[in-house]
Amino acid sequence: MTDASWDQRIGAFYEQEFDDDDPNGSIAKMRDLMSGRPDGDAEALFELAGVHDALGLEGEAIPLYRRAIEAGLEGTHAIRAFIQLASSLRNVGDSKEAVSILESMPDGGADEGARQAFLALALHDEGRHGDSLRIALTALIPTLDGYKRALNDYAAELPSTATTT
């Protein structure tokens, strides 16, 4: 199966077959899609993790994201896997690891806004409110027509509560 065909099938799955009212059915359908990929395929594991995540089964998604990353997931899928892993970790109460993952990531390219948004949420959960607000403002400022200089200055003045370990 070509990558384009795989991506089309995944898109069709989410448009036509994914049903959050039928978690078992949605997972079974994704596993059926995965049967056309080699065992341990990084992209297939990533998609299976995403289905669990979308169904609110973050605890089951986390090890699947980790396996996908360890299997050599690359490019945009890898960036999204790290973001989604961090979001899932935050949702199960491990915002510290979520912050660590998101802060250690390189620029997320097209997904940089998502990385910053999830980092702001995780920082907030860690009680790092100044850092959280700075990240959110820094992400927002480029979208504004005016006030950029003033908001950049204000964001820079926010207290940081980061600790080194």
Nearest to 23, CA basis, from 41, 48, 44: 48
Q: Residue 108's pLDDT is what?
A: 67
Q: Is the pTM of this model over 0.85?
A: yes
The burial class, CB within 10 Å (0-12 / 13-18 / 19+), for 49 is buried
Q: What is the pLDDT along the chain (165 residues), one digit of tens a residue?
A: 567 889 899 999 999 999 999 999 999 999 999 998 999 999 999 999 999 999 999 999 999 999 999 999 999 999 999 999 999 999 999 999 999 999 999 876 889 999 999 999 999 999 999 999 999 999 999 999 899 999 999 999 998 887 654
CA angle 109, 110, 114 (to 5 degrees): 95
CATH class of the 3-98 domain in this structure: mainly alpha
Task: List the chain domain ranges.
Answer: 3-98
Please name the residue that has the structure tokens 């995540």: 53
Per DSSP, the three-state class of 111 is: helix
Q: Residue 1's pLDDT is what?
A: 55
Query: What does the DSSP assignment read for 2-42?
Result: -HHHHHHHHHHIIIII--TT-HHHHHHHHHHHHTTS-TT-H
